[in-house]
Amino acid sequence: MFVGTVKEIKNHEYRVGLTPESAHELVAHGHTVLVETGAGAGIGAADEAYVAAGAQIVGTAAEVFARADMVVKVKEPQAVERAMLREGQILYTYLHLAPDPEQTADLVKSGAVCIAYETVTDATGGLPLLKPMSQVAGRMAIQAGATALEKAHGGRGVLLGGVPGVLPAKVAVIGGGVVGFNAAQMAAGLGADVTIIDRSPEVLERLATHFESRAKTLYAGKANIAAAVAEADLVIGAVLVPGAAAPKLVTREMLSTMKPGAVLVDVAIDQGGCFETSHATTHAEPTYVVDGVVHYCVANMPGGVARTSTYALNNVTLPHALAIANLGWKAALARNVHLANGLNVAFGKVTYEAVANDLGYAYTPAADLIG
């Protein structure tokens, strides 16, 4: 199979779909790897490293799209990239379609076979291809929030961990999954006063056992969320409904109860955000202020630590890429129901139910196309 990767063109996105090491693995299995020149520059991987791995360097993204049977990316294809997709071509990347009707329409029109990292599952019900980026984003959320809390960045001028004689900042983490756990770990490690909010008694029990006295847990009722948000210096939105738009758990009305200069970090922005006042921002202009509250809503947070993120991502995406390349997409998905759960769009059909429901498409089960 001809497998290609291109330079990401989303604002301040420095990750790359294939590392030189991943390219080497694909070549070792008999495949041809096409890499757009400069694709790995953001992680410090020069074209020469890909050539040494057996890949071919090509001059443009257009050539990669034209020649590749499968295109491996990181972020969702931008409009100019979507226009280059063709029927039956495999696109393997993060998609986050539920809050993005324009992208969905273009992918449906293209006829491409679109496999989304974020909806591939595992035997435990987890999302293994989303997990490493959720770990990165959760940890980065505290770094970003701590910076945004500084007075020079519009925040309250509060140090997360405080100092002797001065209380630490109050951090509310909404969602106790992978993002929330990692955010809470970082915040607690810095000495903040951390409360983790979730609706699952099992999750709350697990978090309480892990953190003991280093973080508090709270059931995610509306009144509890409102009270925690009002008291917090920093709120982390870490809520995920797999494949679907995120629920709006912090309303515009709640902002009026918050401290001036408090900070909201919406890690769920890829799925539309879990704060009513959220809209996607970039690493170039990461924050904005609504009603005196600083919002950080960067849609590709892990791109800011591109090298760490790329290697963490390739660790989990490469085995499936190899399966697809070795077997073809139909056989690979037929053999692995968890990989089949990643199929979101194929041959003009929407094959992921949550996306179909959110955007008003007829739902076609993936099994109908896999055969």
pLDDT tens, residue by residue, 43-55 = 999 999 999 999 9
Q: Is the pLDDT of residue 121 over 90?
A: yes
Q: Is the pLDDT of residue 11 over 90?
A: no
pLDDT recorded at residue 191: 98
- Taken in order 119, 122, 123, 124, the sign of the CA dihedral is negative
How far is 263 from 345, CA to CA, in rounded Å? 36
- Look up residue 8 and give its amino acid: E
Contact (Cβ atoms closer than 8 angstroms) between residue 180 and residue 138: yes
For residue 244, what pLDDT band results from cuts at 50, 70 and 90?
confident
Q: Express each pLDDT in 314-355 by its tens digit.
A: 999 999 999 999 999 999 999 999 999 999 999 999 999 999
Distance between CA atoms of residues 108 and 102, nearest Å: 10
Maximum separation of any 2 CA atoms in the chain, in Å? 67
How high is the pLDDT of residue 355? 96
Contact 272, 98 (CB under 8 A): yes
- Residue 250 confidence (pLDDT): 97
For residue 94, the 8-state DSSP code is -
Residue 96 a catalytic site member:
yes
Active site residue 122: no
Catalytic residue among 100, 193, 270, 358: 270
CB atoms within 10 A of CB 95: 28
* Helices within the chain (DSSP H only): 20-28, 47-52, 61-67, 79-82, 101-110, 131-148, 178-189, 201-211, 222-231, 252-255, 306-327, 329-335, 337-340, 353-359, 366-370
pLDDT at 173 over 90: yes
- Mean pLDDT within 297-305: 94
Give the model's confidence band at 294: pLDDT under 50 very low, under 70 low, under 90 confident, else very high. Answer: very high
Residue 207 and residue 221 in contact, taking contact as beta carbons nearer than 8 Å? no
Q: Over the stretch 149-161, which tens digit does the pLDDT of each residue have?
A: 999 999 999 999 9
Contact between 264 and 250 (Cβ < 8 Å): yes
What is the reported pTM?
Answer: 0.90
Q: Which two tokens stand for residue 218?
A: 């709270």
pLDDT of residue 241: 84
Active-site residue (options: 24, 31, 96, 295): 96
Q: Which pLDDT belongs to residue 238?
A: 97
- Mean pLDDT in the chain? 97
Confidence check: pLDDT of 116 > 90: yes
Q: Rounded mean pLDDT of 13-39? A: 98
